[in-house]
A = this chain, B = another copy of it.
């Protein structure tokens, strides 16, 4: 154990031995030794989401394997939360370069194991292969709907209040600190922001309890503006949001201070994995109840103001009601 030997052919068995204990919580995983896995559905429909990440593109080269495990699990759980479903199990695809060490794998598996315990899920299957490229991980997360209800993006209606959980912008600032593109003025600020990037909090309880209350929801993965735009486009509506309502942590505040451009950047930063959702007026009192019950900050940041399907579906206003120009709407892949 703890070896730094590179993984090769003979150690394939060891990977299996490392991974298969992660499956003991789910009978239908068959110890990862069959052609597939079985999920016995209890009382809802099945929800499926997939997210893939590649070293150097979605996480920094030097990232710790436990952190990588935490993040890929949590990112996928966030999609389950955004559907209002209860997470159940996951499949893992691992494409591993030959330079990967056994101690790396052990640490990665330890990370998976911690997250499984925290969120009550099990590994039920997957595939491992070597790659000549960079390490790639892909997870398919399986959830079950509660009472057959789902949260979709396409139900936002004119008059809905727009809410967001937690803080916006912490994760993108955290990433900029990891990558050395930015510098905080205290170690505690640095630690807090980096941790928000590395270990986002999937809003599972909130998501489940928003079914029947929210008209639409998404998780903030691409950036607040980009994900709100997804909701607007799917629902055929347009929105206005107020810059001074956007929840910014005191740590993020200490970095953007009075710089309007930096503050605007937080709106397109991505990786926060908070929930953004719209609620009809008749249900807004319930949002406060959920906030208290599940101890999660929820802030109203704007309103759905009309129908619309054009490019500029979001109007951003400052504290005086003046319209601010939106220059960038969030992270997208394939930028070269």
Interface centre among A134, A136, A218 (most CB of B within 10 A): A136
Residue A80 CB within 8 A of the other chain: yes
Closest B residue, CB atoms, query A44: B41
Closest Cβ of chain B to A133, distance in Å, is 2
- A28 to chain B: which residues have CB within 8 Å? 45
- A332 to chain B: which residues have CB within 8 Å? 9, 12
Q: Which residues of A (281-302) have their CB < 8 Å from a CB of B? A: none
Bound-state CA distance A253–B276 (Å) is: 63
Residue A189 CB within 8 A of the other chain: no
Interface size class of A (residues with CB under 8 A): 35 or more
Q: A36 with B45: in contact, given A131-B134, A138-B93, A333-B129 (CB under 8 Å)?
A: no
Tell me whether A36 and B49 are in contact (CB under 8 A).
yes
| Interface residue from B49, B133, B153 paired with A131 (Cβ < 8 Å) | B133
Q: A150 with B33: in contact, given A140-B140, A332-B12, A334-B7 (CB under 8 Å)?
A: no
Q: Which residues of A (207-265) have their CB < 8 Å from a CB of B? A: 218-219, 230, 234
Tell me whether A30 and B152 are in contact (CB under 8 A).
yes
- A200 to chain B: which residues have CB within 8 Å? none
- A219 to chain B: which residues have CB within 8 Å? 35
Q: Which residues of A (131-187) have their CB < 8 Å from a CB of B? A: 131-134, 136, 138, 140-143, 145, 150, 152-154
Residue A128 CB within 8 A of the other chain: yes
Closest Cβ of chain B to A128, distance in Å, is 7
- A7 to chain B: which residues have CB within 8 Å? 334
Residue A117 CB within 8 A of the other chain: no
| Interface residue from B41, B79, B98, B125 paired with A336 (Cβ < 8 Å) | B98
Residue A318 CB within 8 A of the other chain: no
Tell me whether B129 and A50 are in contact (CB under 8 A).
no
Closest Cβ of chain B to A229, distance in Å, is 12
Closest Cβ of chain B to A100, distance in Å, is 10
Tell me whether A336 and B8 are in contact (CB under 8 A).
yes
Q: Which residues of A (305-336) have their CB < 8 Å from a CB of B? A: 332-336
Closest Cβ of chain B to A34, distance in Å, is 5
Q: A152 with B47: in contact, given A128-B333, A333-B130 (CB under 8 Å)?
A: no
- A134 to chain B: which residues have CB within 8 Å? 131-133
7 contacts between A and B (CB under 8 A): A34-B83, A36-B79, A36-B82, A38-B45, A50-B127, A52-B127, A131-B133
Task: List A residues at the B interface (Cβ < 8 Å).
Answer: 7-9, 11-12, 28, 30, 33-41, 45-54, 56-58, 79-80, 82-83, 85, 91, 93, 95-96, 98, 124-134, 136, 138, 140-143, 145, 150, 152-154, 218-219, 230, 234, 332-336
Which 6 residue pairs across A and B have the least CB separation, nearest first?
Answer: A133-B133, A36-B49, A35-B82, A39-B46, A35-B79, A140-B140
